[in-house]
């Protein structure tokens, strides 16, 4: 039995939420679609999933809850599906400020996309831009039910403190994020050194544990073709000295030019170079992985390295299509990211299905595999970083990252066909309520705790200044 003082502290530190009346999709390894069940959240975790009638039978509410919680929030989820918040495994918050920018020169290939747009933009980012572009993306994520994001940040001339600015926005949003700084030699040695330092400073801060369960750190790197051997070696040594199990987050063979330049400059293929540098492993993320040969895929598999597929970005940049079916067949853990094209994971999931079918020239492939990228593999990926509390699944003890989506299925929906409803129905529906870490951050489509209108107004002002400097 808890003492009265403990109960009091518990009450002050968290809120209790009972979600009833909806259809619960637990996801996890064995997805259950439950009707007439209630989901009970306490202290940031799923406490119970029980048949609704038990809420009243035996006076459950008064016996177990009323003495501890004077105020329980009861959410009516009727006409809604209750499921875990989505996970985005590759994101760039700073891209928010590229929306509507018309000053970039037209590009005829991916290298020009980088030089004409992204590397021009990231050089101009200030600390305020870093904070606000993240905040804007996080507000969008709340609205789309994405509660965990693995970000990759670049702001070469405001690298110092940049991850801390983004972390401030993450804390305020209530969501979870893993952050890293994009190390690169493209702006010279001094900027590269600052990139290494920012990664190390942030990793140390996160490891100190003061910031709780919202934030995680990886060591970020741009891509093989913009990192010299000396920088790569120094970065890996310093990262390993701080944490011998440290994971890295890097773009990998996104465009054929990464392979061509790497082979010309360093005499090896991209994944071979990463393997020799010692950065592959179960907590390292290789984004894209499009232009790989069998040997490189085997290296990723042997090292249990994570691959993240970003289909909309790949189509947008015309860089090719990752052969997700082959990567999965090899046994590689492949997840789904948006590369900042959107924070709507269901839109990205639909794109993953369509493009793979086009790529494989087969109308009956990549359905359940693409569903698994988002639903099962992103869960496994997130749980490699958030090891304290399971994410991506509704079960007792799991993180209370929960979304309520408006959806009244027009056909039978159960465990056997949930993927079909997710891709063709839920993906087209509206997120009504988002709960992150046991806190309601959006209720009935209204943000709680963040003044979206004034943040967007401020964001437009700051983005205009950035565009004037572009
Ligand atoms: Zn990216």
DSSP assignment of 268-324: S-HHHHHHHHT--STT-EEEE--S--HHHHHHHHHTT-EEEE-HHHHHHHT-----H
For residue 184, the CA-to-ligand 1 centroid distance in Å is 14
For residue 313, the CA-to-ligand 1 centroid distance in Å is 8
For residue 191, the CA-to-ligand 1 centroid distance in Å is 19
Q: What pLDDT, on the 0 to 100 scale, is given for residue 169?
A: 98
For residue 339, the CA-to-ligand 1 centroid distance in Å is 5
Average pLDDT over residues 337-359: 98
What is the C-alpha separation between 277 and 224, in angstroms, rounded?
Answer: 11
Residue 193: how many other CB atoms lie within 10 Å: 15
What is the C-alpha separation between 422 and 290, in angstroms, rounded?
Answer: 26
For residue 225, the CA-to-ligand 1 centroid distance in Å is 14
Residue 209: pLDDT band with limits 50, 70, 90: confident
Strands 431-436 and 402-406: antiparallel
Residue 2: pLDDT band with limits 50, 70, 90: very low
For residue 90, the CA-to-ligand 1 centroid distance in Å is 6
For residue 5, the CA-to-ligand 1 centroid distance in Å is 48
For residue 420, the CA-to-ligand 1 centroid distance in Å is 28
- Interhelix angle for 270-277 vs 294-302, to 10°? 30
Burial class for 409, CB neighbours closer than 10 Å (0-12, 13-18, 19+) = middle
Q: Is the pLDDT of residue 48 over 70?
A: yes
Q: Do 46 and 395 meet the contact criterion of CB atoms below 8 Å apart?
A: yes
Q: What pLDDT, on the 0 to 100 scale, is given for residue 12?
A: 47
* Mean pLDDT estimate for the chain: 94
Nearest CA to 200 out of 184, 181, 226 is that of 181
For residue 251, the CA-to-ligand 1 centroid distance in Å is 6
Find all residues with CB under 8 Å of 77, minimum gap 6, and list them: 19, 20, 21, 22, 23, 404, 433
Q: What pLDDT, on the 0 to 100 scale, is given for residue 282?
A: 98
More confident residue, 4 or 426: 426
Q: What pLDDT, on the 0 to 100 scale, is given for residue 66?
A: 54
For residue 33, the CA-to-ligand 1 centroid distance in Å is 34
Q: Is the pLDDT of residue 196 over 90?
A: yes
For residue 94, the CA-to-ligand 1 centroid distance in Å is 11
Q: What pLDDT, on the 0 to 100 scale, is given for residue 360?
A: 97
Q: Is the pLDDT of residue 64 over 90?
A: no
For residue 441, the CA-to-ligand 1 centroid distance in Å is 27
For residue 139, the CA-to-ligand 1 centroid distance in Å is 20
Q: What pLDDT, on the 0 to 100 scale, is given for residue 67?
A: 54
For residue 264, the CA-to-ligand 1 centroid distance in Å is 23
Q: What pLDDT, on the 0 to 100 scale, is given for residue 6?
A: 52
Find all residues with CB under 8 Å of 224, minimum gap 6, and list them: 250, 252, 258, 261, 262, 266, 270, 273, 274
For residue 299, the CA-to-ligand 1 centroid distance in Å is 21
Range name among 2-6, 67-71, 155-159, 211-215 with the lowest pLDDT average: 2-6
What is the C-alpha separation between 212 and 199, in angstroms, rounded?
Answer: 19
Q: What pLDDT, on the 0 to 100 scale, is given for residue 62?
A: 53
Using DSSP, state whether 189 is helix, strand or coil.
helix
Find all residues with CB under 8 Å of 168, minimum gap 6, and list them: 131
What CATH class has 4-84+396-447?
A: mainly beta
Residue 1: pLDDT band with limits 50, 70, 90: very low
For residue 111, the CA-to-ligand 1 centroid distance in Å is 14
For residue 307, the CA-to-ligand 1 centroid distance in Å is 12
For residue 413, the CA-to-ligand 1 centroid distance in Å is 35
For residue 428, the CA-to-ligand 1 centroid distance in Å is 25
Average pLDDT over residues 162-176: 98
Residue 55: pLDDT band with limits 50, 70, 90: confident
Q: Do 33 and 415 meet the contact criterion of CB atoms below 8 Å apart?
A: yes
Average pLDDT over residues 15-31: 94
Could you give the strand order of the β-sheet that contains 215-217, starting from the edge strand earlier in sequence? 86-91, 146-151, 176-179, 215-217
Residue 56: pLDDT band with limits 50, 70, 90: confident
Q: Is the pLDDT of residue 131 over 50?
A: yes
For residue 331, the CA-to-ligand 1 centroid distance in Å is 23
Beta bridge partners of 223: 251
For residue 2, the CA-to-ligand 1 centroid distance in Å is 48
Q: Is the pLDDT of residue 60 over 70?
A: no
For residue 88, the CA-to-ligand 1 centroid distance in Å is 12
What is the C-alpha separation between 286 and 223, in angstroms, rounded?
Answer: 9
For residue 214, the CA-to-ligand 1 centroid distance in Å is 22
Domain 86-385 is of which CATH architecture? Alpha-Beta Barrel (3.20)
Q: What pLDDT, on the 0 to 100 scale, is given for residue 68?
A: 56
For residue 224, the CA-to-ligand 1 centroid distance in Å is 13
For residue 455, the CA-to-ligand 1 centroid distance in Å is 25
For residue 222, the CA-to-ligand 1 centroid distance in Å is 8
For residue 95, the CA-to-ligand 1 centroid distance in Å is 10
pLDDT digits (tens, 9 = 90+) for 273-332: 999 999 999 999 999 999 999 999 999 999 999 999 999 999 999 999 999 999 999 999
Average pLDDT over residues 259-263: 98
Output DSSP code: residue 224: G
Residue 428: pLDDT band with limits 50, 70, 90: very high
% of residues, the chain, pLDDT over 70: 94
For residue 149, the CA-to-ligand 1 centroid distance in Å is 13
% of residues, the chain, pLDDT over 90: 91
pLDDT digits (tens, 9 = 90+) for 362-411: 999 999 999 999 999 999 999 999 999 999 999 999 999 999 999 999 99
């Amino acid at each position: 039995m808890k003492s009265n003082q403990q109960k009091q502290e518990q009450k002050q530190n968290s809120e209790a939420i009972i979600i009833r009346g909806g259809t619960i999709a637990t996801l996890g390894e064995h997805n259950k679609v439950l009707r007439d069940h209630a989901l009970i959240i306490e202290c940031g975790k799923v406490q119970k999933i029980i048949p609704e009638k038990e809420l009243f039978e035996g006076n459950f509410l008064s016996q177990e809850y009323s003495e501890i919680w004077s105020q329980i929030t009861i959410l009516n989820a009727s006409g809604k599906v209750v499921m875990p918040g989505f996970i985005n495994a590759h994101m760039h918050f700073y891209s928010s400020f590229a929306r509507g920018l018309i000053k970039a020169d037209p590009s005829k290939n991916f290298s020009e996309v980088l030089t004409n747009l992204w590397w021009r933009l990231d050089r101009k980012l200030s600390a305020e831009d870093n904070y606000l572009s993240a905040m804007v993306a996080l507000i969008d994520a709340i609205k789309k039910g994405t509660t965990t994001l693995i970000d990759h940040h670049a702001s070469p001339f405001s690298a110092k403190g940049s991850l801390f600015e983004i972390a401030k926005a993450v804390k305020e949003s209530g969501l979870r994020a893993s952050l890293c700084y994009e190390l690169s030699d493209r702006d010279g040695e001094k900027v590269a050194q600052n990139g290494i330092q920012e990664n190390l400073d942030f990793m140390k801060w996160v490891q100190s544990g003061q910031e709780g369960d919202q934030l995680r750190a990886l060591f970020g790197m741009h891509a093989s073709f913009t990192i010299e051997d000396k920088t790569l070696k120094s970065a890996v040594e310093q990262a390993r000295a701080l944490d011998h199990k440290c994971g890295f987050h890097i773009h990998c063979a996104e465009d054929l030019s990464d392979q061509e330049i790497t082979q010309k400059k360093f005499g090896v293929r991209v994944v071979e170079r990463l393997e020799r540098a010692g950065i592959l492993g179960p907590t390292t993320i290789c984004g894209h992985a499009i232009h790989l040969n069998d040997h490189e895929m085997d290296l990723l598999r042997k090292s249990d390295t994570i691959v993240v597929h970003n289909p909309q970005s790949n189509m947008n940049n015309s860089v090719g299509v990752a052969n997700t079916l082959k990567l999965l067949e090899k046994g590689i853990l492949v997840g789904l990211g948006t590369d900042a094209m959107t924070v709507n994971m269901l839109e990205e999931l639909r794109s993953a299905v369509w493009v793979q079918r086009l790529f494989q020239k087969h109308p009956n492939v990549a359905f359940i595999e693409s569903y698994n990228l988002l639903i099962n593999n992103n869960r496994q990926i997130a749980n490699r970083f958030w090891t304290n509390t399971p994410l991506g699944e509704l079960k007792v003890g799991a993180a209370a990252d929960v979304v309520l989506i408006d959806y009244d299925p027009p056909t039978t929906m159960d465990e056997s066909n949930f993927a079909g409803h997710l891709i063709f129905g839920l993906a087209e529906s509206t997120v009504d309520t988002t709960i992150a870490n046991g806190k309601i951050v959006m209720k009935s489509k209204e943000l709680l705790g963040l003044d979206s209108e004034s943040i967007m107004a401020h964001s437009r002002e700051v983005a205009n200044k950035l565009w004037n400097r572009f």
